[in-house]
C-alpha cells in the first residue's frame, strides 16, 4: 500500500477510497455497543427519518441510534478531523514535523479552564465554555508575546518557544488547582475529564462544537497551498509572494478554535494531531493540496475506530485519550520501521 | 525594466549594516556583489526583498517605489534564489518548482495544470527535467541549487536575486550554475543580482560588479574596473595577480594568488 506513493493514479484511488471507508465505518459504528441492533435495523431507522417505513423497531432502538450513538459518532469524526487537520497545518507552518496542535498552549489552556470550572462546581456546559475560553486565552497570550518579541527575527521559532513556556505556565496552574481540589470529589472529576472521553456527549454538544470545527476546517482547506510554501521558511515564503502574517493568523485562529472546541467536548486526546499528519504523508506525500484533506479523513476515521474500541473492549469504558496513545504510538512506530524512505516522510 | 536602489541604508533595530548604497540593474544584465563575510550583502538582499524595512533611501522598479507593494506584486517582478537548505518534508522536485507559481495564484487556490506546465518548462530551461520526480531532500546540493533557480523561473519575474548561488558546490557544479545564470541573462533577458565570494566568478559572468569594503566603502563598475589587485589586497589581505587568458577578442580575466612569503 505504501509502495506506490509516487503514482498519481495510486493517490487518486486512495483519495476515493478514504471517504468510502469512512462511510462504511460510520454506519458500522451504529451496530457496536452493549445494546444490540443489527445493521439492517440501523439503516432502516436512519432511512425512516427521511422516508416513511414500517416501524418494526422499538422506540428504545431509535433512542439508542439517534440520542446516544449518532452524537458520539459525529463527535468522534469532528474531533479526529479537527486534531489531525490542525496538527498537519501547524507542522507545515512551523516547518517542524514534531509539532502537534497543542504547541501554542491551547491544550494546556483548555485543561486549566475545564479544571477551574470543575473546581467551581459549574455544570457540563460551564466546563465546556471554560475549556474553550482557556484554550483561546493561552494561544492569544502566546501569539501577542511572540509577535512582539520577534520583530526582526524568526517568528516561527519564537512562537514555538513562547507556546511551550505559556503551556508550562498554564500546566502549573492546573497542578495548583488539582492540589487544592477536594481529593474525594473534585480531583477525580478533573483527572477523568483530562483523560478524554466521548462517553457523555449529547447532540447539543455536537451542534455547538461543529460550528467552529467546520469553519476552521474550511479555512485551512482554503489556504492549504500556502502551507507548502511556508514549510520552506518565512523568508522564502515571502519571496514567493505569500503574505505570511495573514496566513499565520488565519491558521492559528482556525486551528485554535478547532482544537479548543475538540478539547471542550472530548477532553485531552493526545497523539492524533501528531501522528495522523505523518500517516497522511506516508500515504500520499507531503503536498498539502492532497495531504491536508487526507489527514482530515484519516483523523476522523482513526478516532472513530478507536472510540468504537473504547466502548466495546471492556464492560467499563476505557478513556479514549488513553486508547489513542496506546494504539496510536505502537502503530506509528511500526509504520516508521517499515518505511524505507528517508526523512520525515 | 530597471531595478534601482537609491541611497539605501539598512540594518537591524538601531544598528546600520549597509549605509547609503545606490545601484541599478537592467533586464539582461547581471550584477555581482563582492565583499568579505559580514559586510552586509545578505542584509542588503533582505532589504530589496522587503524582509526588513529600509532605514533610509528607496528601492524603485521602473521608477516606482516598491515600499508599499504587496508581497504578491513584488514576487511577480523579483524572484529570490536562497542558498539551498533542507525543508522538513520530502517534497518532489516538481512540487518545489510549482511553488514558484504561488504569486500568480489567488489566496485561496492551488496550482492548476497550466501552472504545472510552466514549472515543467522551467525544469527544461535549466536542463534538469530528469529530476522532476526525484525527492528534493535526496538530490545533491548542486541539483538542489538548480531546482531553486527553476522555482524562481516558474515565478516568471523580471529580476532574480541570488544569494551565493555557488556556495557549497563542487567545481563542476559551480561552473554549471554560472553558465545557467549567463544563459538566463542572455536568452531570457532576466536581470540578475548575485553575491559571490569568488572574484573569478564575477569575471566569468557579471556585466557589472559592486564591491563593498569595510567602513561602507562602495564601488560599482565593470569587473575590470572594480576588481583590481589593490582591491583584493586591501580587502582580503592577500597578494593576488590578475591575468588574462584566451585570445585577445574574448579573453577572460582571472585572479591567482601569488605566494610571496611561504615559497
What pLDDT, on the 0 to 100 scale, is given for residue A152?
Answer: 64
Confidence bin at A2 (pLDDT 50/70/90): very low
What's the confidence (pLDDT) of residue B218?
A: 85
Domain count, chain A: 1
Question: What is the pLDDT at residue A9?
Answer: 67
User: Does A156 contact B at CB distance below 8 Å?
Assistant: no
How far is A339 from A174, CA to CA, in rounded Å? Answer: 39
- Looking at residue A336, its pLDDT comes to 78
Q: What is the mean predicted confidence (pLDDT) over A316-329?
A: 89
For residue A341, name the pLDDT band (cuts at 50, 70, 90). Answer: low
Cβ pair A239:B107 closer than 8 A: no
Average pLDDT, chain B: 90
- Between CA A96 and CA A105 the distance in angstroms is 16
Q: How confident is the model at residue B64 (pLDDT cuts 50, 70, 90)?
A: very high
pLDDT at B184: 93
Cβ <8 Å between A344 and B46: no
Mean pLDDT of chain A: 90
pLDDT (average), residues B226-252: 85
The pLDDT of B128-147, averaged and rounded, is 93
- The CATH homologous superfamily for domain B2-227 is P-loop containing nucleotide triphosphate hydrolases (3.40.50.300)
What percent of chain A stands above pLDDT 90? 68
What are the chain A neighbours of B99 within 8 Å (beta carbons)?
Answer: 228-229, 232, 240
Kindly tell me if the per-residue pLDDT of A3 is higher than 50. Answer: no
Q: Measured between alpha carbons, how far is B170 from B188 in angstroms, rounded to an integer? A: 26
* Residue B215, pLDDT score: 74
Is residue A187, in this structure, part of any structural domain at all?
yes
Residues of B in contact with A290 (CB under 8 A): none
Q: What's the mean pLDDT in A313-342? A: 82
Q: Do B71 and A243 count as a contact with CB atoms less than 8 A apart?
A: yes
Query: Cβ of A145: how many Cβ atoms within 10 Å?
Result: 17
Q: Which of A228, A235, A281 is closest, CB to CB, to B99?
A: A228
pLDDT at A11: 76
User: What is the distance in angstroms between the Cα of B229 and the nearest Cα belonging to chain A?
Assistant: 36
Domain assignment present for A343: no
**Whether the Cβ atoms of residue A75 and residue A205 lie closer than 8 Å to each other:** yes
What are the distances in angstroms from CA A168 to CA A171, A191, A230?
A: 5, 18, 27
* Chain-chain contact of A342 with B51 (C-beta, under 8 angstroms): no
Q: Residue A4 pLDDT more than 50? A: no
Is the Cβ pair B87, A287 closer than 8 Å?
no
Lowest average pLDDT, out of A3-12, A222-231, B74-83, goes to A3-12
On whether any CB of chain A is under 8 Å from the CB of B72, the answer is: yes
Complete edge-to-edge strand list for the sheet that includes strand B2-12: B15-26, B2-12, B56-61, B64-65
Nearest CA in chain A to B94: A287
Q: Which residues of B touch A224 (CB under 8 A)?
A: 110
Kindly give, in sequence order, each residue whose CB lies less than 8 Å from that of residue A137, ignoring residues fewer than 6 positions away: A109, A113
CATH 3.40.50.300 domain range(s) in chain B: 2-227
Q: For A77-119, how does the pLDDT look when each residue is reduced to its tens digit (9 = 90+)?
A: 999 999 999 999 999 999 988 899 999 999 999 999 999 999 9
Tell whether A240 lies on the interface with B, counting CB pairs under 8 A: yes
Q: Measured between CA atoms, how close is B119 to chain A, in angstroms?
A: 14
**Is A26 exposed, middle or buried (CB count within 10 Å of its CB: 0-12, 13-18, 19+)?**
middle
- Residue whose grid cell is 554560472: B178
A14 touches chain B (CB under 8 A): no
**Confidence category of residue A24, pLDDT binned at 50, 70, 90:** very high
Report the distance separating Cα A247 and Cα A159, nearest Å: 15
- Would you state the pLDDT for residue A345? 47
Which positions ≥6 away from A243 have C-beta within 8 Å?
A: B70, B71, B72, B107
Q: Would residue A13 count as lying in a domain?
A: yes
Q: Over 60: is that where the pLDDT of B110 sits?
A: yes
Does residue A345 fall inside a structural domain?
A: no
Q: Are strands B191-196 and B208-213 parallel, antiparallel or unpaired?
A: unpaired
Chain B positions touching A232 (Cβ under 8 A) are 87, 99
Residue B77 half-sphere exposure toward CB, CA atoms < 13 A: 19
Q: If we measure between CA atoms, which residue out of A227, A272, A239, A6 comes closest to residue B89?
A: A227
Q: What is the CATH number of the domain that holds A287?
A: 1.10.3470.10
As a whole number of angstroms, the distance between CA A84 and CA A281 comes to 12
Contacts of B137 in chain A (CB under 8 A): 342-343
For chains A and B, CB pairs below 8 A equal 108
User: Is A54 part of the contact surface with chain B (CB cutoff 8 Å)?
Assistant: no
Q: Which stretches does DSSP call E strand in B55-137? A: 56-61, 64-65, 78-81
Distance from CA of A258 to the nearest CA of B (A): 20
Given a contact cutoff of 8 angstroms between Cβ atoms, the answer to whether A345 and B90 are in contact is: yes
Question: pTM for the full model?
Answer: 0.91
Structure confidence at residue A5 as a pLDDT band (50, 70, 90): very low
User: Which among B52, B80, B99 has the least Cβ separation from residue A229?
Assistant: B99
> What is the domain extent for residue A22?
3-338
Cα B247 to Cα B263: distance, rounded to the nearest angstrom = 31
C-beta separation of B184 from B190 below 8 A:
yes
Residues of chain B with pLDDT > 70, as a percent, come to 98
Is the pLDDT assigned to residue B141 strictly greater than 50? yes
Amino acid at each position: 500500500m505504501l509502495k506506490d506513493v509516487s503514482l498519481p493514479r495510486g493517490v487518486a484511488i486512495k483519495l476515493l477510497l478514504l471517504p468510502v471507508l469512512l462511510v462504511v465505518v460510520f454506519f458500522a459504528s451504529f451496530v457496536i455497543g452493549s445494546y444490540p441492533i443489527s445493521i439492517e435495523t440501523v439503516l432502516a431507522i436512519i432511512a425512516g427519518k427521511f422516508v416513511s417505513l414500517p416501524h418494526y423497531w422499538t422506540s428504545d432502538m431509535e433512542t439508542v441510534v439517534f440520542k446516544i450513538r449518532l452524537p458520539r459518532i459525529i463527535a468522534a469524526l469532528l474531533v479526529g478531523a479537527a486534531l489531525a487537520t490542525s496538527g498537519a497545518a501547524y507542522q507545515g507552518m512551523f516547518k517542524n514535523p514534531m509539532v502537534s496542535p497543542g504547541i501554542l498552549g491551547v491544550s494546556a489552556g483548555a485543561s486549566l479552564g475545564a479544571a477551574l470550572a470543575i473546581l467551581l462546581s459549574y455544570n457540563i456546559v460551564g466546563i465546556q465554555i471554560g475549556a474553550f475560553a482557556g484554550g483561546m486565552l493561552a494561544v492569544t497570550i502566546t501569539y501577542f508575546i511572540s509577535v512582539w518579541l520577534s520583530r526582526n527575527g524568526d517568528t516561527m521559532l519564537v512562537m514555538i518557544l513562547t507556546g511551550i513556556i505559556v503551556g508550562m505556565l498554564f500546566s502549573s496552574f492546573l497542578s495548583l488547582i488539582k492540589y487544592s481540589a477536594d481529593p474525594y470529589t473534585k480531583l477525580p472529576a478533573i483527572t477523568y475529564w483530562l483523560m478524554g472521553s466521548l462517553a457523555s456527549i449529547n447532540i447539543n454538544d455536537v451542534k455547538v462544537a461543529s460550528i467552529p470545527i467546520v469553519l476552521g476546517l474550511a479555512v485551512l482547506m482554503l489556504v492549504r497551498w500556502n502551507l507548502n510554501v511556508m514549510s520552506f521558511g518565512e523568508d522564502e515564503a515571502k519571496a514567493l509572494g505569500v503574505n505570511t502574517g495573514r496566513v499565520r493568523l488565519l491558521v492559528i485562529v482556525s486551528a485554535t478554535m478547532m482544537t479548543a472546541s475538540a478539547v471542550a467536548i472530548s477532553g485531552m486526546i493526545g497523539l492524533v494531531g501528531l501522528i495522523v499528519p505523518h500517516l497522511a504523508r506516508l500515504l500520499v506525500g507531503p503536498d498539502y493540496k492532497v495531504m491536508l484533506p487526507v489527514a482530515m479523513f484519516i483523523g476522523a476515521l482513526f478516532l472513530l475506530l478507536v472510540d468504537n474500541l473504547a466502548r466495546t473492549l471492556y464492560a467499563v469504558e476505557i478513556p479514549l485519550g488513553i486508547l489513542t496513545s496506546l494504539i496510536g504510538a505502537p502503530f506509528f512506530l511500526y509504520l516508521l520501521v517499515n518505511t524505507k524512505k528517508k526523512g520525515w516522510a | 525594466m530597471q531595478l534601482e536602489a537609491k541611497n539605501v541604508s539598512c540594518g537591524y533595530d538601531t544598528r546600520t549594516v549597509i549605509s547609503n548604497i545606490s545601484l541599478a540593474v537592467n533586464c539582461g544584465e547581471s550584477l555581482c556583489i563582492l565583499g568579505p563575510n559580514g559586510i552586509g550583502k545578505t542584509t542588503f538582499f533582505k532589504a530589496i526583498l522587503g524582509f526588513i524595512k529600509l532605514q533610509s533611501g528607496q528601492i524603485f522598479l521602473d521608477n516606482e517605489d516598491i515600499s508599499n507593494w504587496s508581497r504578491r506584486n513584488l514576487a511577480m517582478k523579483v524572484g529570490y534564489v536562497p542558498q539551498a537548505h533542507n525543508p522538513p518534508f520530502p517534497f518532489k522536485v516538481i512540487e518545489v518548482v510549482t511553488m514558484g507559481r504561488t504569486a500568480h495564484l489567488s489566496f485561496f487556490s492551488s496550482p492548476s495544470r497550466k501552472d504545472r506546465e510552466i514549472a515543467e518548462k522551467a525544469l527544461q530551461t535549466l536542463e534538469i527535467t530528469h529530476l522532476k520526480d526525484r525527492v528534493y531532500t535526496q538530490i545533491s546540493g548542486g541539483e538542489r541549487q538548480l531546482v531553486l533557480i527553476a522555482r524562481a523561473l516558474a515565478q516568471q519575474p523580471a529580476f532574480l536575486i541570488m544569494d551565493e548561488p555557488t556556495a557549497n558546490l563542487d567545481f563542476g557544479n559551480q561552473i554549471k550554475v554560472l553558465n545557467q545564470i549567463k544563459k538566463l541573462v542572455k536568452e531570457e533577458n532576466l536581470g540578475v543580482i548575485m553575491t559571490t565570494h569568488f572574484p573569478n566568478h564575477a569575471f566569468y559572468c557579471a556585466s557589472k560588479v559592486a564591491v563593498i569594503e569595510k567602513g561602507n566603502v562602495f564601488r560599482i563598475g565593470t569587473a575590470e574596473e572594480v576588481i583590481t589587485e589593490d582591491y583584493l589586497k586591501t580587502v582580503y589581505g592577500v597578494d593576488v595577480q590578475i591575468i588574462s587568458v584566451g585570445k585577445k577578442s574574448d579573453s577572460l580575466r582571472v585572479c591567482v594568488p601569488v605566494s610571496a612569503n611561504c615559497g
